[in-house]
Amino acid sequence: MQTLWARFEPAPIADPLWRRGLSACPLARGLDPERQQRLRQLSTLFLARKQFHALAGAVLDDYWRLLIAMQACLPALQQGTGSLRGWREVLIYPGEFKVRRNHHDDRSGIAGDGGEAHAGDAWERGPLVLSLADVQLDLEQPWDGYNVVVHEMAHKLDMLDGPPDGVPPLVDIPRRRWIQQFQLAYDRLVAMPPDSCESPIDHYATESVAEYFAVVSEMHYSRPALLREAEPAIAELLQAYYGRSPAEGRER
């Protein structure tokens, strides 16, 4: 798969469109020039390989497809093109959508009514699903600890080796250390009351270790200093996995 991606050479992103995308995406703008260039190459492949579908009245153009691709490729920068394998579709709703887990469309699993409202979703070997309104909000408030595209891409990375369990494929990080540290941190958060102010980590992370991984991945990109203060071992592991956060030095 890595070789096939390497041989595939789609048309490059036009310079004016790329500059416009960088201007609107603070997470990408915070990268050093070398990583920005890698992000551009990976985003080019993402746009060529993934099929975007605008649903329920959502309006997509090249600019918004690029902004989604840029944020989706950020977590894959250090892992390389092979980390984007195994799925093809990006489904975009104008706002929150509802998911029915027990009765879903064969293609997307998305239902128009019933179920719980979501800003994003990721299905094993299935689509990446996003609320365009939430994508826009994350671009406008990039350093608040939340990013729906990063969150769902963390799930996609987690699912590269099977159902989500909070442990993506690891190369240079000892798997045992990752599992131990994440389990300890997850258990600490679970032990806190839902309305506790003891941890800055969103209590939604207690849903599962997989959700914990996705939530702290958001913080790595948008509130790394706060994450490091709360869970230094987790912050260290995520920096080893994702690379240096573009938010470093920006938190007040």
pLDDT at 248: 87
Sign of CA dihedral 76, 224, 213, 173: positive
Q: What is the pLDDT of residues 139-152, one digit of tens each?
A: 999 999 999 999 99
Distance separating alpha carbons of residues 27 and 111, to the nearest angstrom: 31
Query: Can you tell me the mean pLDDT for 141-170?
Result: 96
- Answer whether residue 211 shows pLDDT above 80: yes
Residue 184 to residues 128, 178, 242: CA-CA distances in angstroms?
29, 10, 21
- Taking the whole predicted model, whether its pTM rises above 0.85 is answered as yes
Q: What is the pLDDT of residue 111?
A: 41
The mean pLDDT of the chain is 89
Pairing assessment for the beta strands 97-99 and 128-131 based on DSSP bridges: unpaired
Share of the chain above pLDDT 70, in %: 88
Please give the angle made by the CA atoms of 223, 68 and 119, to the nearest 5 degrees.
Answer: 70
pLDDT-derived band at 119 (thresholds 50, 70, 90) equals: confident
* Sheet containing 110-111: order of strands: 110-111, 97-99, 116-118
Measure Cα distances from 105 to 58, 102, 108, 127, 128 in Å.
19, 10, 5, 12, 14
Can you tell me the distance from the alpha carbon of 73 to that of 27, in angstroms, rounded to the nearest whole number? Answer: 11
Indicate the SS3 state at residue 103. coil
How confident is the model over 4-63, as pLDDT tens digits? 444 557 889 999 999 999 999 999 999 999 999 999 999 999 999 999 999 999 999 999
Q: What is the mean pLDDT of residues 215-233?
A: 97
Mean pLDDT of 97-113: 49
Spatial CB neighbours of 178, under 8 Å, sequence gap ≥ 6: 167, 170, 237
Is the confidence at residue 181, as pLDDT, over 60?
yes
Model pLDDT for residues 72-95, shown as the tens digit of each residue = 999 999 999 999 999 999 999 998
**Secondary structure (DSSP) of 49-83:** HSEEEE-TT----HHHHHHHHHHHHGGGTTT-GGG
Residue 106 has pLDDT above 60, yes or no: no
The shares of helix, strand and coil residues in the chain, as percent rounded to the nearest 5, are: 50, 10, 40
Proportion of the chain above pLDDT 90, given as a percent: 79
**pLDDT tens, 13-26?**
999 999 999 999 99
What average pLDDT does the segment 165-180 reach?
A: 97
Q: Tell me: pLDDT of 237 over 90.
A: yes
pLDDT greater than 60 at residue 190 = yes
Beta bridge partners of 118: 97
User: So what's the pLDDT on residue 97?
Assistant: 75
